[in-house]
């Protein structure tokens, strides 16, 4: 039963794309960034759960490494997108002041 709870939690964490999509429908970039931050945190949560899965021998070491790296790359990409949107907002504000 513990295994089922673990995989259910990982499954919920992996809904990063759902969070991203929900934020995409936001009215403002600030709100979209908020949802992107949730998605980024979900990547970190997936990585944390991977350690549990490895310790409990639910997954092999090579599976751990592959999925951990995918979550890391996803988190980096989301962070880059957040930074892009922040810079875009700053430029937009600066252009209004001209």
The domain locations on the chain are 2-97
Instruction: Tell me the torsion sign for CA atoms 59, 61, 66, 71.
Output: positive
Q: How far apart are CA 66 and CA 68, in angstroms?
A: 6
- What pTM, to 2 d.p., does this model score? 0.75
Q: How far apart are CA 85 and CA 41, in angstroms?
A: 18
Q: What are residue 26's phi and psi, to 5 degrees?
A: -65, 160
pLDDT per residue as tens digits for the range 43-89:
998 899 899 999 989 889 999 999 999 999 999 999 999 999 999 98
Helix (H) or strand (E) holding 13: helix 2-13
Query: Is the CATH number 2.60.40.1080 carried by domain 2-97?
Result: no
């Amino acid at each position: 039963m513990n295994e089922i709870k673990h995989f259910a939690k990982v499954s919920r964490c992996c809904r990063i794309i759902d969070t991203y999509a929900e934020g995409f429908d936001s009215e403002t970039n600030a709100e979209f960034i908020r949802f992107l931050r949730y998605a980024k945190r979900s990547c970190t949560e997936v990585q944390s759960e991977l350690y549990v899965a490895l310790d409990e021998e639910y997954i092999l070491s090579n599976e751990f490494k592959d999925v951990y790296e995918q979550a890391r790359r996803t988190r980096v990409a989301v962070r880059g997108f957040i930074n892009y949107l922040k810079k875009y907002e700053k430029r937009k504000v600066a252009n209004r002041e001209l």
